[in-house]
Amino acid sequence: MIVMKFGGTSVESAAAIERVAEIVKSRLDRKPVVVVSAMGKTTNKLLAIAHGAISGERDQALGKLFELRDFHLRESGMERTVEQHFQELSELIKGLSVLGELTPRSIDAISSFGERLSSLIVTSFFQKHGIHAVHVDARKVIVTDNRHTHANPLYSETYAKLAETVVPLAQDRVVVLGGFIAATNTGIGTTLGRGGSDFTAAIVGAGIGAEEIQIWTDVDGMLTCDPTVYPGGHRVKRISFAEAAELAYFGAKVLHPATVIPAIEKNIPVLILNSRRPQVEGTRILSASIASTNIVKSIACKKKVTVLNIRSLRMFLAHGFLRRIFEVFDRNETSVDMVSTSEVTVSVTLDETQRLAGVLADLREFSDVDVLEDQSIICLVGEKIPMTAGVGARIFKALGPINARMVSEGASSMNIGFVVDSKDLTQAVQSLHEEFFTELDPAVFG
């Protein structure tokens, strides 16, 4: 058995889903289990509608909801199914407009509809194309805790349900599930967080003992740099789980960082493939280290990062200062990406700033804090980096006049990261790419 996950751009329209059907047809002998994201930008649109409803824009929110309904009707032709789901959605939106509040639980309820609908639509398309397909509601087999919007899977319960439900069906049918969505033991809907459909695919793959997990997207695989920042990148043919995880964490959007966890545990290869160009071999992610003559495998970057420079009110880092800082982030449920310390200052980067006001209020009770917005993290990843002398010198020579802040090396055994002003991001990535990828190892890069 294999798992084939198709992202939002791969199922964004009837034509796109027909391409997916042909791809799945060509792999029927491998007993595929299919995981799909919401169609196009459906989840973002649903959340925008919900926010509009609680902001006193009920009529406008319902108008946008009807537009989204019409889109699904037009692309699917499944009038009864679509109408039923959007009737339920309409009642939820009306309720939110009365309450004027959007809780994590209601966010999960609203955002689940994209995958709930897309999985039913894809199943119907498969059946029309002669594929013996069956739909399984992911909320019946992916079990999580009750941490809404970022739920953690309960693996033993989930694996048991997958083995009991999906494995028998997959022997003679193509099972289709929605990604991203799950439920607690008591049946309350949850979601796995941003990029959670990849996570679903990996959980399913581990639970059914898949020989391979395929992530189908709209790019040819992992590249040596983000094409939206600098379009001159090359395809990485093979990369290790450890390197892929570093790249994913620091901004490589092709793969959700948590995806590799179940795959690593079960030693299942992960492939990144292009649904628009299925003939391209993509990127294969393996547990073993991948030898390469190139020091750097790829350059990742994370945009729109906020930097906090936290200075002790005393002239030195007093005992317990670091503990107090990280207790603040813990209380405010805010993750930190990079950390750098000096004698009196601790600098951190934040990717999510929803709770920044609370973080700043708590920190300023015992420190001075400066906030730098619109920054970007650049991270060079490669297993040879710690074993190669002079990498830092080459980086700073390539950067030239570009100011690098918060340089971090040693926290990971395979990356060097630093922060630049976002206005310098494109030039920095281009210069670094030209420095480290002028010559390519043909066994590793395409």
Tell whether the model's pLDDT for residue 411 goes beyond 60: no
Q: Is 22 strand, coil or helix?
A: helix
The 3-state secondary structure of 187-237 reads: CCEEECCCCHHHHHHHHHHHHHCCCEEEEEECCCCCECECCCCCCCCCEEC
Q: Where exactly does CATH 3.40.1160.10 map onto the chain? A: 2-218
For 298-436, give the CATH class.
alpha beta
Q: What confidence tier does 259 reach under pLDDT thresholds 50, 70, 90? A: confident
- pLDDT of 178 reads 98
Exposed e or buried b for every residue in 216-242, given b needs 16+ CB within 10 A?
bbebbbbbbbbeebbeebbbbbbbbbb
Contact between 311 and 345 under an 8 Å Cβ cutoff? The reply is yes
pLDDT at 412: 61
Q: Are strands 181-183 and 212-217 parallel, antiparallel or unpaired?
A: unpaired
Q: What is the spatial distance between Cα 287 and Cα 264, in angstroms, rounded to a whole number? A: 7
Q: How far apart are CA 37 and CA 115, in angstroms?
A: 6
3-state helix, strand, coil in the chain (%, to 5): 45, 25, 35
**CATH 3.30.2130.10 placement within the chain:** 298-436
When the pLDDT of each residue in the chain is averaged and rounded to a whole number, the result is 93
User: pLDDT tens across 375-403, in order?
Assistant: 999 999 999 998 889 999 999 999 999 99
Q: Tell me the pTM.
A: 0.86
DSSP string, 323-382: HHHHHHHHHTT-----EEE-SSEEEEEES--TTHHHHHHHHTTTEEEEEEEEEEEEEEE-
Confidence of residue 343 (pLDDT cuts 50, 70, 90): confident
Average pLDDT over residues 160-167: 98
Distances (CA, A) of 189 to 89, 137, 144: 14, 11, 9
Asked whether 222 and 206 are in contact (CB, 8 A), the reply is no
Name the residue with higher pLDDT: 43 or 413: 43
Q: What is the pLDDT of residue 191?
A: 97
Domain covering 2-218 in this structure, CATH number: 3.40.1160.10
pLDDT digits (tens, 9 = 90+) for 81-119: 999 999 999 999 999 999 899 999 999 999 999 999 999
Q: What is the mean pLDDT of residues 343-358?
A: 91
Q: Report residue 316 as tokens.
A: 């030195």
pLDDT digits (tens, 9 = 90+) for 117-147: 999 999 999 999 999 999 999 999 999 999 9
Q: Is the pLDDT of residue 317 over 70?
A: no
Q: What are 282-311's pLDDT values in tens digits?
A: 999 998 888 999 999 999 999 999 999 999
- pLDDT tier for residue 410 given thresholds of 50, 70 and 90: low
443, pLDDT greater than 90: yes
226 or 320, greater pLDDT = 226
Q: What is the mean pLDDT of residues 202-227?
A: 94
219 band by pLDDT with thresholds 50, 70 and 90: confident
Q: What letter does residue 10 receive in the DSSP assignment? A: G
Largest distance between two CA atoms of the chain: 73
